[in-house]
Structure 1
Amino acid sequence: MCGITGWVSFDRDLRAEAVTLDAMTETMACRGPDDRGTWVQGPAALGHRRLAIIDLPGGSQPMTADTPNGTVALVYSGEAYNFTELRRELADRGHRFATDSDTEVVLRGYLEWGEQVADRLNGMYAFAVWDQRQDKLVMIRDRMGIKPFYYFRTPDGVLFGSEPKAILANPLAPARVGLNGLRELFTMIKTPGHAVWEGMNEVEPGTVVTVDRSGLRRRAYWQLETRPHTDDRDTTITTVRSLLDDIVRRQLVADVPRCMLLSGGLDSSAMTALAARQLGRHGEKVRSFAVDFVGQSDHFIADELRGTPDTPYVHDVARRAGTEHQDIVLDSRALADPDIRAKVIRARDLPAGLGDMDASLYLLFRAIRDQSTVALSGESADEVFGGYLQFFDEEARRGGTFPWLVSLGRHFGEDAEVLRPELLDAMNLEAYVADGYAGAVAGIRRLDGESDFEFRMRTICHLHLTRFVRILLDRKDRASMAVGLEVRVPFCDHRLVEYVYNTPWALKSFDGREKSLLREATADVLPQSVYDRVKSPYPSTQDPKYGAALQDQAKDLLSRSGHPVFDLVDRERLRRAADRDVPVNTQAQRRGLERALDLALWMDLYKPDIALD
């Protein structure tokens, strides 16, 4: 997995900047606790922190190859799941390998094919190549945006890193956030390339960014394309299952302990069952982990989003698949701990505002990391197969905006409820979202003869696969890598994404339910309870003690009269939320409190320069 960073400065010799490069590299220590390395040559400096997964002794980075015309150096984060096939092909072309790592395959692939190596990779990756032969930096990110990748242009080059913190460790990159950054922060639309921090950008998914003395260029090597789907239902179900079996086989490869993230929903249950079947053929058992909260199963209260607790279904899957299972049970004290909140914000570099769902994910991953280094997740199946409520909500279907905003607005209320009215006026979030939506739907191609309804559903699927999924993938990556855990997302394999995206909605929901194709493709390995279960989102605690702790922390924040958070947060709105007499035990009631506390702690940690003009 790993964390990467670097600096290209065409007007200086970066050998004199070792201290700064070391500082940038050390910010990635959480992503790579096993090893570190730096490499400097004239205008290029690369840093790497390693989480060893494949070829534990042989995959150290930065990795270099000397050619007659100069050195080619690579820093790489991620996994190439088809590296074995690529290695054979490169060996047939005359390449010789010194390690068994997928990193060397990517480096040799670049030597053979240049930046077109990206077209041949199946995996999750973010990597940078300094090519001395042409004095250029090549940055490449995986198709779905599973691995994060940021850059910051300077007057004579560029800074880059797996996370913003690596870039912000360089004095050339100020920690500044303007109005557009706040707009992005307070909406859930994930504008491609936007990084919130002023002057910083993301390398967009499926994109190559090249930097040389003539400037910076971007090229998309992959995008989600509209194609006809001619397979009938049975063939489609069979193809989905065949793809899933191949994907799971590839993603189980590791030289370290593996496990499954199991929620008891269709997605993670299918992954766990398929993995258990494959490993069982070799006499291995799957380890599985689930998150739960103290008293949640015994005192669960159903609502419109979550009709059932996860734990009974988790245990059904564990019994059926024969996994070695463990529940990670969290209490309100841990979820509300300001130290955990600080770790989450450090992991994200931003105040995400998802409260106990962020804290529990971090704590779950931290507990798993004590026993495993790689985990497979059911993340992204809802986006691929159509699992969210908004796919079936007529208001969201016809809303003329990002459909999840309709659903979230109904269930959680106004996201910015504690923000100052004058800030809300200045941001004009409604116009920002409208502009973002117009840009997001502009390039979606309609098939000849496609009905209005089918094209509307294609648009909704496209929005989820190119916008919403990136929010969740970033959350997953940051929380897991903050504790040195690699989480793989099989449902993001681009072959599966392309195939299912182009399957008509009538096939995706042929039985009138969510994720019909996935359910039928894996029906033989699922317990009946999970096959019949209705979609339930990632769990959230219902313990009123958690809400009470938030109120106490908000009151403490209110006592700090000079805190800069009140440039953004309305003091009276926050006071009303903190003084509420009724138990604060739903996500909607807690949302404003969590947003304010996150913002305040982010300001304490990062001391951002907030520019409201």
Structure 2
Amino acid sequence: MCGIVGWATYGSDQHHNRSVLEAMTSTMACRGPDDSGAWMARHAALGHRRLAVLDPAGGRQPMTLDTQRGTLALTFSGEVYNFRELRSQLISLGHRFRTNGDTEVVLHGYAQWGERVAEHLDGMFAFAVWDEGEQTLVMIRDRLGVKPLYYQSTPNGVLFGSEPKALLAHPSVALLVDSDGLREIFAFTHAPNWTLWKGMRQVAPGTVVTVGRAGVRERVYWRLGPMAHDDDRHKSIDRVRDLLDGAIRRQLVSDVPLGVLLSGGLDSSAITGLAAEALAEQGEKLRTFSVGFTGQEEQFEPDDLRASSDGPFVRDVVRQVRPEHHDIVLDSSELSDPGLRRHVITARDSPAGLGDMDLSLYLLFKAVRAHSTVVLSGEAADELFGGYRWFHRPEALQAQTFPWLVQRGVMDRTRGIRADVLKALDVAAYSADQYAAATAKVERADGVGNEEHAMRVMFHLNMTRHIRMLLDRKDRISMAVGLEVRVPFCDHRLVEYVHGAPWAVKSFDGREKSLLRHASAHVIPASVAGRTKAHYPSVQDASYARALQKQAAELLLERHHPVFDLADREWLQRATSLDPDVIPVQLRHDLDRILDLYHWFDLYSPRVVVD
């Protein structure tokens, strides 16, 4: 897992711009604390920061290969889980290898298949290849978009990087945010290719972007479409079990310490049970990590997103699986530290976060990194199997908008923002346009009725929109502390199979995630199998709300701070005057967002234009 940066430009010789490349690469130091590298040619420059997971001694980058067509240079981030099989195939085709990791396999794969190498790869990845013979830069991102990749066109080419901060370090890139950037922060529709920064785009998941003298072209090599599903309930359960077990086994390959994030929910418990079985066959013991807050289990109060505390379920899993378990217990005073918030804002290059849930995730990942370099996590299970409440509520199905926006609360991100700003942005119209664009991409399978098609639209929106936010959050915060997080539920074979299953199969027992619940029943405790969906924990200690109010009151003293170009000063004054012991949870989330905006302005000094 690494950070990649670079550019292709056809206007001048780039050899004299090494200091610029080094400045861009240094912004990726957290993503790759183990090594740094640079490669330059007349019209291209590639930079790399490395987190050594496979073949620590041999995987230095950027990596080059001399071919009859000219030199190929690669900067690669991610993991290719089938690299050993591909290596054997390439050797049979005449290729010779110097290293034992996956990076060189990708490079030789490109030499053999060109940009079609993407279709041979099983994994999470984002990489760029400079083809000296063709004078082209080829950027490729994995099918589900687990690993990020950003780019920005220039007058003579493009810049690219794993994170916006790498591009922002280039002297030609302006720190400018316009209305198009702001709308998505408040709308929460997870628009494809979107970035906050004007002129910057993401390489879309499952897409190849090729840059040459003639310009930029895109080719989609994988998309989520209608899939035939003829298996009955029992065959579907067996197939899901096999696919998930296979994905987990492939993702356990590592030359450094590895573990699992365990919440006590169905998703992480299934991964824990299956991973423990696989490692036990090799005589190895699994590490697991859980997060909680001081005193919260004893004083836990159910809310709209969490009917139960994680602790008892985590302990049930630990008793059954017997891993090497670590409880990470956080104090609310840690979460309210402004310095922590600034770390998280810097990690995400954006104020579009989830408040204390991002802050605690950063602390969790930082604590995990002291024990493991790699962990497996349960992201995408809810989107894939139907775990969220909105899958089971008719009003969400009929709402003609993104289903997570029907569930208000934390999803409503406009409170505390000036009325004139919201009027100018017209967030409602933007959301409606995005919904229309997203649903237009859903192909209708032959013979599917209206209700079944509506459910398929629901699943498609979750797997192509909602999951993007969670994967980006996971990647940016974990890599800020040099931790690699793998996501077995994003295995594309598992995704294709489950996505094609009709709703009657996915919900056959009348509960959420029926297929996953039954496919993993043999490795999870009965208590977990019967547990309802609980979201990632949020701190309930009133002292956290009190700290937010205090920081917001201090912000009000900075009368000319640019945050008030967006934030409503009178709203903030009212929010700071409420009793923190009874402050609504939603209002606390709103304060989190205003403070995120404040620190983002301080850290980036952006020019914000609302038109």
TM-score bracket, shorter-length normalisation: over 0.9
- CA RMSD in angstroms comes to 0.9
Match of 1:301 in 2: 301
Query: What is the CA–CA distance in structure 2 between the aligned matches of 1:336 and 1:188, rounded to whole Å?
Result: 24
**Cα contact 1:379–1:491 (8 A) shared by 2:** yes
How much has 1:73 moved relative to structure 2?
Answer: 0.1
Query: What is the CA–CA distance in structure 2 between the aligned matches of 1:589 and 1:600, rounded to whole Å?
Result: 17
**Cα contact 1:206–1:220 (8 A) shared by 2:** yes
Decide which moves more: 412-421 or 183-192: 412-421
Match of 1:479 in 2: 477
SS in 2 for 1:49: strand
**Cα contact 1:577–1:592 (8 A) shared by 2:** no
Alignment of 1:56-205 (within 5 A): 56-205=56-205
How much has 1:68 moved relative to structure 2?
Answer: 2.6
**Cα contact 1:584–1:590 (8 A) shared by 2:** no
When residues 80 and 98 of structure 1 are mapped into structure 2, their CA distance, relative to the original with a 3 A threshold, is same
Query: What is the CA–CA distance in structure 1 between the aligned matches of 2:583 and 2:499, rounded to whole Å?
Result: 37
SS in 1 for 2:144: coil
SS in 2 for 1:307: coil
When residues 49 and 239 of structure 1 are mapped into structure 2, their CA distance, relative to the original with a 3 A threshold, is same
SS in 2 for 1:5: strand
SS in 2 for 1:291: strand
Report percent identity of matched pairs. 58
Query: What is the CA–CA distance in structure 2 between the aligned matches of 1:584 and 1:139, rounded to whole Å?
Result: 51
**Unmatched tracts of structure 2, length 5 or more:** none
Match of 1:341 in 2: 341
Match of 1:39 in 2: 39
1:277-312 deviation digits (Å, cap 9, x = unpaired):
111112211110001001111000012321100011
1:563-585 deviation digits (Å, cap 9, x = unpaired):
00000001000111111125256
SS in 2 for 1:186: helix
How much has 1:12 moved relative to structure 2?
Answer: 0.9
Decide which moves more: 139-148 or 350-359: 350-359
**Cα contact 2:405–2:412 (8 A) shared by 1:** no
How much has 1:530 moved relative to structure 2?
Answer: 0.1
1:453-503 deviation digits (Å, cap 9, x = unpaired):
111100000000000000000000001000000000000000000000000
1:240-265 deviation digits (Å, cap 9, x = unpaired):
00101111110000000000000000
1:118-151 deviation digits (Å, cap 9, x = unpaired):
0011100000000001000000000000001000
Q: Say whether residues 1:572 and 2:570 are aligned partners.
A: yes
Match of 1:423 in 2: 421
SS in 2 for 1:47: strand
Match of 1:466 in 2: 464
How much has 1:587 moved relative to structure 2?
Answer: 3.3
Q: Say whether residues 1:612 and 2:610 are aligned partners.
A: yes
Query: What is the CA–CA distance in structure 2 between the aligned matches of 1:298 and 1:62, rounded to whole Å?
Result: 51
**Cα contact 2:187–2:428 (8 A) shared by 1:** no
**Which residue identity lines up with residue 600 of structure 2 in the other structure?**
W
Alignment of 1:452-531 (within 5 A): 452-531=450-529
**Which residue identity lines up with residue 154 of structure 1 in the other structure?**
T
Query: What is the CA–CA distance in structure 2 between the aligned matches of 1:24 and 1:186, rounded to whole Å?
Result: 29
Alignment of 1:550-569 (within 5 A): 550-569=548-567
When residues 162 and 413 of structure 1 are mapped into structure 2, their CA distance, relative to the original with a 3 A threshold, is closer
Alignment of 1:4-15 (within 5 A): 4-15=4-15
1:334-389 deviation digits (Å, cap 9, x = unpaired):
11110100000000000124111000000000000011000000111001111000
Decide which moves more: 498-507 or 181-190: 181-190
**Which residue identity lines up with residue 259 of structure 2 in the other structure?**
C
Query: What is the CA–CA distance in structure 1 between the aligned matches of 2:326 and 2:129, rounded to whole Å?
Result: 41
**Which residue identity lines up with residue 240 of structure 2 in the other structure?**
V
1:494-550 deviation digits (Å, cap 9, x = unpaired):
000000000001000000000000000010111010000000001001000000000
How much has 1:70 moved relative to structure 2?
Answer: 1.5
Query: What is the CA–CA distance in structure 1 between the aligned matches of 2:111 and 2:491, rounded to whole Å?
Result: 25
**Which residue identity lines up with residue 456 of structure 1 in the other structure?**
A
**Cα contact 1:542–1:585 (8 A) shared by 2:** no
1:160-218 deviation digits (Å, cap 9, x = unpaired):
00000000000111110000100011121111111120000000000000000000000
TM-score by length of 2: 0.99
**Cα contact 1:574–1:592 (8 A) shared by 2:** no
Match of 1:256 in 2: 256
Match of 2:445 in 1: 447
Query: What is the CA–CA distance in structure 2 between the aligned matches of 1:414 and 1:376, rounded to whole Å?
Result: 30
TM-score by length of 1: 0.99
Query: What is the CA–CA distance in structure 2 between the aligned matches of 1:470 and 1:369, rounded to whole Å?
Result: 24
SS in 1 for 2:189: coil
**Cα contact 2:405–2:411 (8 A) shared by 1:** no
Query: What is the CA–CA distance in structure 2 between the aligned matches of 1:447 and 1:163, rounded to whole Å?
Result: 37
Alignment of 1:252-291 (within 5 A): 252-291=252-291
1:37-93 deviation digits (Å, cap 9, x = unpaired):
000010100000000000010000000001233210000000001111100100000
SS in 1 for 2:158: strand
How much has 1:589 moved relative to structure 2?
Answer: 2.1
When residues 325 and 211 of structure 1 are mapped into structure 2, their CA distance, relative to the original with a 3 A threshold, is same
**Cα contact 1:542–1:586 (8 A) shared by 2:** no
Query: What is the CA–CA distance in structure 2 between the aligned matches of 1:472 and 1:312, rounded to whole Å?
Result: 25
**Cα contact 2:404–2:411 (8 A) shared by 1:** no
How much has 1:586 moved relative to structure 2?
Answer: 4.9
Query: What is the CA–CA distance in structure 2 between the aligned matches of 1:258 and 1:306, rounded to whole Å?
Result: 28
SS in 2 for 1:126: strand
Query: What is the CA–CA distance in structure 2 between the aligned matches of 1:388 and 1:106, rounded to whole Å?
Result: 37
Match of 1:437 in 2: 435
Query: What is the CA–CA distance in structure 2 between the aligned matches of 1:103 and 1:324, rounded to whole Å?
Result: 31
Query: What is the CA–CA distance in structure 2 between the aligned matches of 1:233 and 1:585, rounded to whole Å?
Result: 46
SS in 1 for 2:187: coil
Report how many residues are paired: 611
**Cα contact 2:545–2:580 (8 A) shared by 1:** no
Query: What is the CA–CA distance in structure 2 between the aligned matches of 1:130 and 1:227, rounded to whole Å?
Result: 35
Q: Say whether residues 1:292 and 2:292 are aligned partners.
A: yes
How much has 1:591 moved relative to structure 2?
Answer: 1.8
Match of 1:320 in 2: 320
When residues 158 and 584 of structure 1 are mapped into structure 2, their CA distance, relative to the original with a 3 A threshold, is farther
Match of 2:218 in 1: 218
Query: What is the CA–CA distance in structure 2 between the aligned matches of 1:313 and 1:389, rounded to whole Å?
Result: 20
How much has 1:413 moved relative to structure 2?
Answer: 7.3
Alignment of 1:403-418 (within 5 A): 403-407=403-407, 409=408, 411-412=409-410, 414-418=412-416
Query: What is the CA–CA distance in structure 1 between the aligned matches of 2:610 and 2:507, rounded to whole Å?
Result: 46
**Cα contact 1:548–1:584 (8 A) shared by 2:** no
1:374-425 deviation digits (Å, cap 9, x = unpaired):
0000111001111000001111110000000101x1x347421100000000
1:310-335 deviation digits (Å, cap 9, x = unpaired):
01101111111111111100011111
